[in-house]
Amino acid sequence: MTIEFRGVTKRYGGGAAAVDELSLTVPDGSMTVFVGPSGCGKTTSLRMVNRMVEPTDGDVLLDGRNVRDIDPAELRRGIGYVIQHAGLFPHRTVLGNIATVPMLSGWSRRSARRRAGELLDTVGLPAELGSRYPAQLSGGQQQRVGVARALAADPPVLLMDEPFSAVDPVVREGLQDELLDLQRRLGKTIVFVTHDIDEAVRLGDRVAVLRVGGRLAQYGTPADVLRHPVDDFVAEFVGKDRGYRGLSFLSAGALEVGEVVTVEIGSVPGESGEWRLAIDDERRPRGWLAPGSTVDGSLAEADLVAGGSLYRRGTSLRGALDAALSSPASLGVVVDDDGAAVGVVTARHVLDVIERHPASATATSRTARA
């Protein structure tokens, strides 16, 4: 379902505009992320889609139909809505929470609960959590239940307002991955709000950068916004690391993988003057054996220096550079889809590839001008 904002303005109580003449289109089946500093009108913009806020001026259209013409309760049952604090109903079990919208839409209790059970699985929660109450869940689990509740009636549109901001960074990354995966499988049209540019770039097919006063500063793909910020505000907002972040969009096609000496855990490694990569019996990297280190008998995990991040072959150059920079041996370990080590890359080699990349050349020149 396509969402279109057409000249949408919102003033609260006749004051200054919270959202000013917003016009943009979120294409069917894609995810658009609204990003911007606090108070720039992200939440207000989002809530005008499900009429939790009524525009002062302009229209929001769903597949060309003006939301003003749809009964608010009906409209909202057809739009999944996830908020920052999950907003779960404390008196209902997890299953009861997830079954809310199907029940409101007149499903039988049994089919609503069966559907709720399926959704637990969809959002990666074990079935036995279904009978718990929200107070018995961790923050991350509550967020997942919030997402499951929003998905329960299989709405074509999902609105998510900083859904992951209250959980710790590790959990957040997991939830982001799962959202991307869900999006690929379910093909929902999603509007996602965050003030974290990293999250925006990671999740969005398109990113809408808003400035205080509720004006749209730039709307484009993440790569576009990072490489070609339209003005100083956007450039400032996307931050100092935008060149590095931009690497996320450079594919590593031309990257050659070098060879590395490996030693298997449990074998007798002997002596060597160079870094050697320790692997297990399935060739998965376990760490590094430092040059000149001596091992009593066979090689054990305790003899190793912890490795850096791993670079999965075929993904973006950002991961390759990070693997090289984080490795104690200055050699980024490259793994295949099964996690088996296939070789190494150096930072120098990654940089060579970046410099030869045509897109990055324009990015560099634009940045120089800015």
Partner 1 sequence: MIAETVAWFGDAANWSGPGGVPARVLEHVGYVALALAIALVIAVPFGLLVGHTGRGAVLLVGAGNIVRALPTLGVVTLFFLLLAESTPAAVVGLVVLAVPPVMAGTYAGVQSVDAHVVDAASGVGMRGMQRLWQVEVPIALPMVLGGVRNAVLQLVATAAVAAYVGLGGLGRYLMDGLAILDYAEVVAGAVLTAALAVVLDLLLAGLQRIVVPRGVRLAELTRSKGPA
Ligand X SMILES: Nc1ncnc2c1ncn2[C@@H]1O[C@H](COP(=O)(O)OP(=O)(O)OP(=O)(O)O)[C@@H](O)[C@H]1O
Q: Is there binding between residue 119 and partner 1 (CB under 8 A)? A: no
Q: Residue 122 corresponds to which amino acid?
A: T
| Residue (17 or 160) nearer to partner 1, CB | 160
What is d(CA 268, CA 208) in angstroms, rounded to the nearest whole number?
A: 56
Q: Which stretch binds partner 1 (CB under 8 A): 23-31, 76-84, 197-205, 291-299?
A: 76-84
| Residue (86 or 197) nearer to partner 1, CB | 86
Q: Which stretch binds partner 1 (CB under 8 A): 85-93, 239-247, 263-271, 356-364?
A: 85-93
What is d(CA 42, CA 35) in angstroms, rounded to the nearest whole number?
A: 7
Contact map string, positions 33 to 52, toward Mg ion, x by CB under 5 A: ----------x---------
Q: Residue 141 corresponds to which amino acid?
A: Q
- Helix, strand, or coil here: 136? helix
Can you read off the two tokens belonging to residue 338?
A: 């099964």
Q: Is there binding between residue 42 and ligand X (CB under 6 A)? A: yes
Q: Are 215 and 281 in contact (CB under 8 A)?
A: no
Task: Give the burial class of 305: count Cβ atoms within 10 A of its Cβ; 0-12 exposed, 13-18 middle, 19 or more buried.
Answer: middle
CB of 151 to ligand X, least distance (A): 23
Pick from Mg ion, ligand X, partner 1, none: which does 12 bind, CB < 5 to 8 A by kind?
ligand X
Strand runs labelled E in 168-322? 189-194, 206-211, 215-220, 262-264, 276-279, 285-289, 310-312
Pick from ligand X, Mg ion, partner 1, none: which does 89 bind, CB < 5 to 8 A by kind?
partner 1
Q: Is there binding between residue 18 and ligand X (CB under 6 A)? A: yes
Q: Is there binding between residue 32 and ligand X (CB under 6 A)? A: no
What is d(CA 288, CA 284) in angstroms, rounded to the nearest whole number?
A: 12
Alpha-carbon torsion (235, 236, 237, 242), positive or negative: positive
Among 30, 32, 43, 93, binds ligand X (CB under 6 A): 43
What is d(CA 290, CA 304) in angstroms, rounded to the nearest whole number?
A: 7
What is d(CA 53, CA 51) in angstroms, rounded to the nearest whole number?
A: 5
Q: Is there binding between residue 73 and partner 1 (CB under 8 A)? A: yes
CB of 112 to partner 1, least distance (A): 13
Q: Residue 246 corresponds to which amino acid?
A: G
Among 29, 39, 58, 87, binds partner 1 (CB under 8 A): 87
Which residues form the interface with ligand X (CB under 6 A)?
12, 18, 38-44, 195
Which residues form the interface with partner 1 (CB under 8 A)?
50, 52, 72-78, 81, 83-93, 100-101, 104-105, 133-136, 138-139, 149-150
Which residues form the interface with Mg ion (CB under 5 A)?
43
